[in-house]
């Protein structure tokens, strides 16, 4: 997979190929129906066309905030007053002696937590803007994952499996639902890390390549690859495409049953439209000064993430199915106070603005927002100003898209070391996300190597209490 761009927005498979791949997986019926319809209209099949899920989902699209490095949950969204009461003690001495707690002392959060909104859920002072939307947020305090190492945990978060190369969650979403705007990629990921699994985190693995994510902002590339021609003017290029299409139509006349030629003809028309559509959507200068200001654009620390969030809204509005935004630098083994404050400062206002903006446009109800790192950080520390990796318990949040806001779902123990109630494993997250999109995660499958694979492998439960 190249890093600069990949997702094909308008794909055409031959009917034979589609049926070959899908004859047993999800959507055999859906595809059979489509194939039938396409045959009736003599149109090529488009597996990226919007298609119905298993049942009407409350979310139509996903915006995923990936906080890369492992944000400290006890300093942000998991209020654990026990840390203060037992400050400086070893966790084992007060009854909790989990994973490698030797030589660690409980450290309370340097930040205050206050109740917010009508629901009164506690959020730390690091998020003054986001906490204004407390009643929209479902804080998930009982999240956990398998391994407290960045590479495995990040790949697990994205694909459900770090042992083998598997499709990413965005690819699954696209495979299941198709996308609404054929002039744009259906799965966009902004600033994904080049390492720690790299393209695997937005790859399609054994799903057809058309379902993989399109990466923006990798290696300094801001846009999508090959989207413009630097030497041929647009009118001249149009003439050239007209010539090419005459050639293609000539072949189609000679081979009337070869529907793949229609696919090629269509792919050029779509590509030509994309050249105009993509730069337009990515041009945030169309937005008012007021909007840009609301996202924190132009105001130093939140400028960058503000642009990403505003672009995410524009993508969402234009029909992109799955949008991921990565914010790096949450690995505070040291310098917790300064670094966490700046991380939150950079992301707080933009995310809050995005929630407000989506709400105003009546899109929050069907846009699922998810905030998560690959794991959390240890409540008990070895150093005064740093926390280490904590996979047994951490926090995420979800909002919109049919999520019941204004609640804390799940709990860690008294100190935030391990999830103890309503535990929410990565597989449960995937199952719940797919459920909100309208899928039974056990039935969204793809046959590869003689087996029906799914995002959740052989596990995962939908967390009903999260759902409104």
Find the binding residues for another protein in span 188-207 (CB under 8 A): 193-200, 203-206
Nearer residue to another protein within complex by CB, 91 or 208: 208
Nearer residue to another protein within complex by CB, 207 or 353: 207
Smallest distance from another protein to CB 233, Å = 9
Nearest Cα neighbor of 378 from 327, 408, 333, 409 is 333
Considering only 239, 280, 361, 465, the residue that binds another protein (CB under 8 A) is: 239
Q: Contact region for another protein (CB under 8 A) — 28-36, 255-263, 303-311, 353-361?
A: 255-263
For residue 104, with 0-12 CB atoms within 10 Å meaning exposed, 13-18 middle and 19 or more buried, which class applies?
Answer: buried
How large is the C-alpha radius of gyration of the chain? 23
Q: Does residue 83 interact with another protein by CB under 8 A?
A: no
Under rule CB under 8 A, which residues in 10-29 are in contact with another protein?
10-14, 16-17, 20-21, 24
Q: Does residue 225 interact with another protein by CB under 8 A?
A: yes
For residue 300, with 0-12 CB atoms within 10 Å meaning exposed, 13-18 middle and 19 or more buried, which class applies?
Answer: exposed
Considering only 56, 103, 300, 450, the residue that binds another protein (CB under 8 A) is: 450
DSSP secondary structure, 289-319, as one string: HHHHHHTTTTSGGGHHHHHHHHHHHHHHHTT
Q: Please list, residue by residue across 343-362, b when 16 or more beta carbons sit within 10 angstroms of its beta carbon and e when fewer do.
A: bbbbbbbbbbbbbbbbbeee
Q: Does residue 380 interact with another protein by CB under 8 A?
A: no
Smallest distance from another protein to CB 60, Å = 22
Q: Does residue 271 interact with another protein by CB under 8 A?
A: yes
Please say whether the beta carbons of 216 and 241 come within 8 A: no
Residue holding tokens 């002696």?
97
Considering only 253, 257, 289, 290, the residue that binds another protein (CB under 8 A) is: 257
Q: Does residue 121 interact with another protein by CB under 8 A?
A: no
Nearest Cα neighbor of 127 from 339, 415, 338, 348 is 348
Considering only 37, 87, 112, 228, the residue that binds another protein (CB under 8 A) is: 228
61-67 and 367-372 beta bridge pairing: parallel
Write out the two tokens for 178: 């198709």
Nearer residue to another protein within complex by CB, 359 or 447: 447
Considering only 26, 65, 127, 162, the residue that binds another protein (CB under 8 A) is: 162
CA pair distance 1, 9, nearest whole angstrom: 16
Q: Does residue 294 interact with another protein by CB under 8 A?
A: no
Nearer residue to another protein within complex by CB, 43 or 248: 248
CA pair distance 241, 460, nearest whole angstrom: 48
**Residues touching another protein, count (CB under 8 A):** 91
Considering only 114, 268, 301, 363, the residue that binds another protein (CB under 8 A) is: 268
Q: Does residue 71 interact with another protein by CB under 8 A?
A: no
């Amino acid at each position: 997979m190249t890093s600069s761009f990949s997702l094909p927005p308008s794909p055409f498979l031959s009917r034979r190929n589609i049926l070959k791949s899908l004859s047993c997986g999800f959507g055999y019926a859906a595809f059979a129906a489509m194939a039938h319809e396409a045959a009736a209209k003599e149109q090529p099949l488009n597996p990226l066309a919007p298609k119905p899920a298993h049942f009407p989902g409350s979310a139509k699209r996903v915006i995923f905030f990936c906080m890369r490095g492992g944000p400290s949950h006890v300093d942000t969204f998991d209020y654990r007053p026990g840390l203060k009461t037992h400050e400086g003690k070893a966790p084992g001495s007060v009854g909790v002696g989990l994973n490698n707690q030797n030589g660690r002392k409980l450290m309370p959060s340097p930040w205050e937590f206050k109740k917010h909104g009508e629901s009164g859920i506690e959020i730390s002072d690091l998020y003054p803007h986001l906490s204004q939307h407390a009643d929209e947020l479902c804080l998930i305090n009982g999240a956990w994952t398998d391994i407290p190492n960045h590479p495995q945990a990040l790949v697990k978060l994205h694909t459900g499996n770090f042992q083998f190369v598997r499709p990413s969650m965005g690819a699954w979403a696209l495979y299941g639902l198709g996308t609404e705007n054929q002039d744009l990629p259906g799965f966009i990921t902004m600033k994904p890390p080049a390492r720690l699994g790299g393209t695997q985190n937005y790859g399609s693995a054994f799903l057809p390549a058309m379902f993989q994510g399109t990466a923006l902002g990798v290696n300094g590339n801001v846009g999508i690859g090959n989207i413009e021609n630097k030497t041929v003017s647009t009118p001249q290029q149009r003439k050239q495409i007209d010539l090419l299409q005459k050639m293609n139509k000539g072949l189609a006349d000679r081979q009337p049953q070869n529907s793949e030629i229609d696919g090629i003809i269509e792919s050029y028309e779509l590509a030509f439209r994309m050249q105009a559509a993509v730069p337009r959507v990515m041009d945030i200068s169309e937005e008012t000064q007021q909007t840009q200001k609301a996202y924190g654009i132009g105001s130093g620390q939140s400028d960058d993430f503000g642009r990403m969030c505003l672009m995410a809204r524009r993508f969402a509005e234009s029909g992109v199915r799955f949008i991921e935004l990565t914010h790096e630098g949450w690995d505070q083994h040291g310098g917790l106070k300064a670094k966490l404050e700046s991380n939150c400062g950079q992301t707080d206002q933009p995310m809050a603005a995005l929630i407000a903006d989506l709400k105003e446009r009546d899109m929050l109800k069907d846009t699922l927002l998810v905030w998560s790192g690959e794991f959390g950080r240890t409540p008990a520390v070895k150093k005064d100003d740093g926390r280490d990796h904590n996979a047994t318990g951490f926090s995420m949040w979800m909002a919109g898209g049919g999520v019941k806001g204004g609640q804390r779902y799940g709990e860690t123990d008294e100190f935030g070391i391990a999830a103890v109630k309503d535990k929410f494993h990565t597989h449960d997250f995937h199952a719940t996300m797919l459920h909100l999109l309208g899928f039974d995660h056990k039935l969204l499958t793809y046959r590869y190597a003689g087996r029906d694979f799914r995002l959740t492998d052989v596990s995962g439960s939908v967390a009903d209490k999260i759902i409104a």
